[in-house]
Structure 1
Amino acid sequence: MKKLLNTLYVTNSDAYLKREGLNIVISVDNKRIGRYPIHILRQIICFNYMGISPALMKLCMENNVSVTFYDPFGRFCGRVVGKSYGNIYTRKKQYKLSESIDSIDFVKNIIYAKAYNCRKLLIRGKLDHKDKIDLPRVEKVINRIKELMLQIPLAKTKDEIRGIEGKIASEYFSVFDELIIKNREEFYFNGRNKRPPLDMVNAMLSFLYSILTNEIASALEGVGIDSYAGFFHTDRPGRVSMALDIIEEMRAFMVDKFVLSLINLNRIDETKFEIKENGATLLNEKGRNLILSYWNERSHEEIYHPFLEEKVQIGLLAHVQAQLLNSYIRGDIESYPPYMRK
């Protein structure tokens, strides 16, 4: 249970919420663990099975406090809102921005954050494993990404930024294999490939990118943002473009670092994969279950959020960023602050 950005997160799956006057009371096994006045909140996000009382739901609707429900694994279930909730206002502004050059500052911010977090991961790898990697090769890419970062603020169009982003990704993945220090014969990486992935590292990256994309899409829908209307990724039927926008800032820290830890800490082996006749390499059922187990375990770890200036659970990061994006779209904050790992 945690309150951030005027939002109450209920992460205990056994928690039950009820009304007590003009207050929200949270209990577990009939024991009170929290109490919040309704007027200090803008929304409640629940990851619990026990639910919320009808009386509290009514109080929330009367006070324009939205209540969003997810299952304990983070899948979006639904949302209860009052009649004056500004969902249509937010989406109209979102659609207008998506067609406008005015959203270029948002695009610059997320791609700069992507570059920063990729570079940060390489620097960390260089410091931790300097005797096990090709230092000149990694340092060259670290410097090259820094040069590309300096070009981002100067870009005039989104297409220019897409070009810079492509170069950043190419440089980064050209040395990603250097960060694999265990089981290199099995977990080799010769560059990013997908649809289908052709090695075990790419299989894990693709699987977890999909998991994180779905988590972000659920978080966006939870605050009333259309996850299909992005500012950086172009529209395409069935593509959650806004979720793909937000994942750019999170890939290196949330997924890439996690995959490296699975390999380098010997938490996964080749028995968790299957290789098809066409060379496609996929996680088998045991592999998926193993990775999701570690993923959910990691979600409870806390990280420092520079913009909020406080710690948040890793599993709540997508929800925090969705709220910040919502604040930016509505004009409550001047620019969108992407997550940059310090």
Structure 2
Amino acid sequence: MKRHLNTLFVTTDDSYLSKEGESIVVKRQGKKVLQVPALTLDGLVCIGRSYVSTPLLRLCGEKGLTVSLFSPSGRIIGRFEGPATGNVLLRRDQHRLSLDPAARLAIAARFVVGKVANSRTVIRRGARDHGDPQGQLGEAADVLGRILRKVEHATDLDELRGMEGEAGRAYFRAFDRLVTRSGREFEFQGRSRRPPRDRANALLSFAYGILRHDLRSACEGVGLDPQIGFLHADRPGRASLALDLMEEFRAPLADRAVLTVINRRQVSGGDFRARPGGAVHMKEAARKALIVTYQKRKQETLTHPFLREQTTVGLLPHLQARLLARHLRGDLDGYPPFLAR
């Protein structure tokens, strides 16, 4: 099993990151506030206005640490990474299968199975916890169940993507019922992005940005090309494979983290800022609360449903990327998505 490494998030503006020996040092106003050995990390995420020294970038490249830069709202600006590694034969298999319509459809369907099944699990848990098995949550779970039974009978990618879209709409129509906090501060009236139009959507978009970083790093860590996907269409600059793998983790990891900070009152309306045009951005307090909750979730342990091994939630992206690589090499008959319980 791969050692559980952590991602270092830097969220305070005007932080200066530098190298000291084999460690990463964070300074603010000339004072050292944190020092972390590079060997304990698998990535570095800078959110907002931070400064990174050239020697530190060189250290990150040598150690295989990815440095991701995000805007204050969670939009990815860019990434720095060292030389590409991995098995060229694996990437050839990945590219070849992505061009085979039947193989591509079969793999894409497994990503959608993971997404729909895990969305249904979150909805059913909410229905049970909130006493709503016959209400809107129960109805959404039934719709997702019907879609799930049809997914692997899709005849082409367009039909499959249509099922995925239908499942997403059913899930988000019921999402507001998962928010148990009283009042209208975090009322959710549907998914909005680019830009998010309310506080809940701002949290969701930010959480998905963090999750995307983790999935891209996992793909690269096993030698997969994060740009060549199966479900998502290839576009310049889009990490399509990372987005494919993200689908099964959105509800159980990102969405649950968002619901936790809302329902436990770890964020408030004052932690957000409305922008001209209707966009809603998170302030530093909201970003920190969500990151802490997300990182705590990654430390939780469970038994992997396919491998039957104890692992942490934070290692799941790496394990799923390895299972996908095994399938692409022909070692597994099909890709087994992660199915939350």
Partner of 1:291: 290
Partner of 1:49: 38
- What is the alpha-carbon distance in structure 1 between the residues aligned to residue 141 and residue 240 of structure 2? 28
Query: Structure 2: which amino acid aligns with 1:138?
Result: L
Q: Deviations over 1:149-206 (max 9, x none)?
A: 1111211111110011000001111010001011441000000010000001000100
- What secondary structure, in the 3-state scheme, does the structure 2 residue paired with 1:278 have? coil
1:3-42 mapped onto 2 (5 Å cutoff) = 3=1, 8-9=2-3, 11=5
- What is the alpha-carbon distance in structure 2 between the residues aligned to residue 89 and residue 297 of structure 1? 36
Query: Structure 1: which amino acid aligns with 2:38?
Result: Y
Partner of 1:141: 140
Query: Structure 2: which amino acid aligns with 1:118?
Result: S
What are the ranges of 5 or more consecutive residues in structure 1 without an aligned counterpart? 14-46, 52-66
1:90-129 mapped onto 2 (5 Å cutoff) = 90-101=90-101, 102-129=103-130
- What secondary structure, in the 3-state scheme, does the structure 1 residue paired with 2:3 have? strand
1:1-342 mapped onto 2 (5 Å cutoff) = 3=1, 8-9=2-3, 11=5, 49-50=38-39, 69-70=64-65, 77-78=81-82, 87-101=87-101, 102-130=103-131, 135-342=134-341
8 A Cα contact 2:219 2:225, kept in partner: yes
CA RMSD of superposed structures (Å): 2.4
Q: Deviations over 1:18-52 (max 9, x none)?
A: xxxxxxxxxxxxxxxxxxxxxxxxxxxxx95248x
TM-score by length of 2: 0.77
What are the ranges of 5 or more consecutive residues in structure 2 without an aligned counterpart? 8-35, 41-61, 69-78
Partner of 1:63: none
- What secondary structure, in the 3-state scheme, does the structure 1 residue paired with 2:276 have? coil
Q: How many residues of Structure 1 are paired with residues of Structure 2 in the alignment?
A: 281
8 A Cα contact 2:324 2:335, kept in partner: yes
Structure 1 residue 224 displacement after superposition:
0.9
8 A Cα contact 1:69 1:76, kept in partner: no
- What secondary structure, in the 3-state scheme, does the structure 2 residue paired with 1:327 have? helix
Structure 1 residue 332 displacement after superposition:
1.4
- What secondary structure, in the 3-state scheme, does the structure 2 residue paired with 1:312 have? strand
Query: Structure 2: which amino acid aligns with 1:129?
Result: H
- What is the alpha-carbon distance in structure 1 between the residues aligned to residue 292 and residue 163 of structure 2? 36
Q: Deviations over 1:268-293 (max 9, x none)?
A: 11122111021101111222122212
Q: Deviations over 1:200-246 (max 9, x none)?
A: 10001001111101110011011111101100100111110000000
8 A Cα contact 2:66 2:82, kept in partner: no
TM-score by length of 1: 0.77
Higher-Rg member (1/2): 1
Identity rate, percent:
36
Q: Go from structure 1 to structure 2 and tell me whether the alpha carbon gap of 1:72 and 1:311 turns closer, same or farther (over 3 Å shift).
A: farther
Q: Go from structure 1 to structure 2 and tell me whether the alpha carbon gap of 1:107 and 1:184 turns closer, same or farther (over 3 Å shift).
A: farther
